[in-house]
């Protein structure tokens, strides 16, 4: 799945719907840029229902779905669904490693090559599919 950034700032209505009072409403993305979605989470307790996990240069980027439009709706063949009481996550196995996102943002050496390989594999998946269309 690929998305294009349409805004980097939440509107007051989005901020309220996402229960973001006191939290950031400005995200460090580039309007018009296309991002590969590594995973997504949805549920009653997650950013108003949808949170994207996007491929960043050195770590995962998380953002509410409302800031993006979907440009390639195909789900990744690497996604595995997991359910908790109130949420559903679709992501590759690697992103289910305990505290993966936190540990990666701390630049734990053993996770960096795992993340780079994951990003390359998922980018390649959609690049290969684009050629077949």
Range of 90's domain?
2-132
**Count of the separate structural domains present in the chain:** 1
Sign of CA dihedral 108, 114, 116, 118: negative
How do the pLDDT tens digits run along the chain, 133 residues long?
999 999 998 888 877 777 654 456 678 899 999 999 999 988 765 555 688 999 888 888 888 888 999 999 999 999 999 998 888 999 999 999 999 988 998 999 999 999 999 999 999 998 765 554 4
d(CA 65, CA 14): 11
CA 30 to chain centre: 15
């Amino acid at each position: 799945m690929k998305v294009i950034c349409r805004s980097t700032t939440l509107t007051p209505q989005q901020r309220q719907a996402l229960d973001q009072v006191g939290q950031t409403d400005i995200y460090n993305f580039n309007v018009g840029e296309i991002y590969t979605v590594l995973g997504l989470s949805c549920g009653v307790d997650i950013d108003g229902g949808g949170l994207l996990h996007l491929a960043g240069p050195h770590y995962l980027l998380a953002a509410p779905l409302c800031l993006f439009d979907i440009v390639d709706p195909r789900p990744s063949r690497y996604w595995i669904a997991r359910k908790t009481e109130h949420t559903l996550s679709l992501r590759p196995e690697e992103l289910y490693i305990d505290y993966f996102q936190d540990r990666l943002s701390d630049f734990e050496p053993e996770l960096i090559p795992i993340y780079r390989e994951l990003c390359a594999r998922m980018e390649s998946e959609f690049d290969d599919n684009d050629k077949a269309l």
